[in-house]
Amino acid sequence: MSTQLPTVRRQNLVGASRAELAVLLAPLDDRPFRSQQIYHWLTRRLAADLDEMTDLPRTLRARLSECGVVSDPETVEVKRAVDGTAKYVLRFDDGAVVEAVAMPMEGRTTLCLSSQAGCAVGCIFCVTGALGAGRNLTGGEIFGQYRRLVRAEGLLGQPINVVFMGMGEPLLNVPNVARAVELLAETVSPRRVTVSTSGIVPGLARLAELPRRPNLAVSLNATTQEQRLALMPAAARWPLADLLAALRAYPLERGRRITIEYVLLQGRNDSLDDARRLPRLLRGLPVKVNLIPFNPDEQFLPGLAAPDDAQINAFAALLADANLNVTVRWSKGREVAAACGQLRGRQQAAGNRQQ
């Protein structure tokens, strides 16, 4: 009678800190610089496996492979838009699926990463929220999206921006987002990283405590509490007044501004009265405003539409007249559902929703 030995689960080295790598390596090699070498291979050179770490002795790589592995999310599908935007559907070991996006911009590429597999915030203009909550991603899983996209798009050594504007609410997952920002900092300055939130006030306080803070973007989308509550159910817990107070208290480094994101929805928040109220709400805050015409999805977001171009331009003009720094952000990748609010991840949920 044969006895099957239990399988030893190997630790994924992607996402490990220097200290964690040192603990793992201690029984294998007691020289401290080895953990630093491996950390640099994972975070700077984005090695896909241990065999690429050629300055490590072969015997050490063999022993390390018995307890550790280099594993990034699996690429399930890639869709590429005519403007060059690429949407990646990525799957983790437990079957959780997210989407991440690579957007070519002038002079550099912006990578849009997900922080959760799903989203519980439930903004009415977002497909991810319509599909419901999922789990938090670990810092390594977030960083793994970056590693996967950089290698696939041939971006190693190229100028990159990173935005946490994919699936999920980053400020409901601050510890893991903070770990990902720390890992990214090896190749992407925190000044080139932006975390976007729907307005989770306690999360803002936690983000403010980080020693190296990324840029902050806030999805505001309304000029009254009643209006915001109709668009963003989370406003019931964190009202507009509390959010604005938290933004006024948020520590900004010299020269930085908070980005205010405002998704324009026809007949919901696009009136000229809204355009007049918005500067009054933001008075005294160092901000820039991104107006984002709503990106439609008839399957998951029926009955919603973007204003016409004339209304968008009139709204933007009133903000500019009030001396706000304002940009209309025409989303990239719309035809492959890669634009703001269109990421879905768990595509099978479409059928479940109709049952």
Q: Which residues make beta-bridge pairs with 99?
A: 89
**How would you classify the pairing of strands 97-105 and 108-112?**
antiparallel
| Average pLDDT rounded to a whole number, residues 210-217 | 95
Query: Where does a domain end: 22, 42, 69?
Result: 69
Examine the domain organization and report whether 190 and 268 are in the same domain: yes
Whether residue 4 lies inside any domain: the answer is no
Residues 53 and 155 in one domain: no
pLDDT tens digits, residue range 225-275?
999 999 999 999 999 999 999 999 999 999 999 999 999 999 999 999 999
The C-alpha angle with vertex 175 and arms to 76 and 14, in degrees rounded to 5, equals 45
258 token code pair: 């908070």
Distance CA 175, CA 181 (A): 10
Structure-token pair, residue 219: 């999805």
Q: What is the pLDDT of residue 339?
A: 43
User: Which band of pLDDT confidence, cut at 50, 70 and 90, is reported for residue 335?
Assistant: very low
Pair (80, 132) in one structural domain:
yes
pLDDT-derived band at 300, boundaries 50, 70, 90: confident
Residues 79 and 60 in one domain: no
- 131 falls in which pLDDT band (50, 70, 90)? confident
Length of the chain: 355
Query: Is residue 254 a part of any domain in this protein?
Result: yes
What CATH code is carried by the domain that includes residue 84?
Answer: 3.20.20.70
Whether residue 5 lies inside any domain: the answer is no
The residues with which 262 forms a beta bridge, in sequence order, are 291
For this structure, is 340 an active site residue? yes
Catalytic option among 119, 123, 126, 340: 340
Determine the structural domain holding residue 19 and report its residue range: 11-69
User: What is the C-alpha to C-alpha distance for residues 341 and 355, in angstroms, rounded to an integer?
Assistant: 23
Res. 337: pLDDT tops 60: no
Whether 52 and 138 share a structural domain:
no
User: Is 186 marked active-site?
Assistant: no
Q: Is residue 347 predicted with pLDDT exceeding 60?
A: no
Residues 33 and 122 in one domain: no
We report the CATH number of the domain holding residue 36 as 1.10.150.530
DSSP secondary structure letter of residue 80? E
Contact yes or no for 53/38 (Cβ under 8 A) = yes
355 exposure class (CB count in 10 Å sphere: 0-12, 13-18, 19+): exposed
How high is the pLDDT of residue 295?
A: 85
Same structural domain, 92 and 62: no
Both 164 and 207 in one domain: the answer is yes
Asked if residue 173 lies in contact with residue 136, where contact means CB atoms within 8 angstroms, the answer is yes
State the DSSP code for 87. E
Percent composition of the chain: helix, strand, coil (DSSP 3-state, to 5):
35, 20, 45
The pairs formed by 301-309 with CB atoms below 8 angstroms and a separation of 24 or more are: 301/124, 301/125, 301/126, 301/127, 301/130, 301/341, 304/124, 304/125, 304/265, 304/266, 304/268, 305/265, 305/266, 306/264, 306/265, 306/266, 307/264, 307/265, 307/266, 307/270, 308/266
Q: Give the C-alpha separation, 34 to 172, whole Å.
A: 35
If asked whether residues 246 and 109 sit together in one domain, one would say yes
Name the residue with tokens 């709503």.
Answer: 294
Give the end of a domain, one of 69, 95, 116. Answer: 69
Helix (H) or strand (E) holding 129: helix 127-131
Instruction: Say which residue the tokens 């306080």 belong to.
Output: 205
- Show which of 44, 69, 94 is a domain's final residue: 69
Q: Which helix (H) or strand (E) holds 108?
A: strand 108-112
Query: By C-alpha distance, which of 270, 339, 276, 346 is closest to 304?
Result: 270
Contacts of 311 (CB under 8 A, 6+ apart): 264, 266, 270
Residue 28 sits in the same domain as residue 64? yes
Distance CA 342, CA 290 (A): 17
Q: Is residue 159 part of a domain?
A: yes
Burial label for 266, CB within 10 Å (0-12, 13-18, 19+), is: middle
pLDDT for res 331: 57
Q: Could you give the number of structural domains in the chain?
A: 2
123 shares a domain with 55:
no
> Could you say which of 20, 99, 123, 298 is catalytic?
99
Same domain assignment for residues 103 and 238: yes
Query: Residue 96, Cβ neighbours under 10 Å: how many?
Result: 19
Whether 276 maps to a domain, the answer reads yes
Distance of CA 125 to the CA centre of its chain: 17
The pTM (predicted TM-score) of the whole model is 0.90
What is the rounded average pLDDT of the residues 90-113?
A: 94
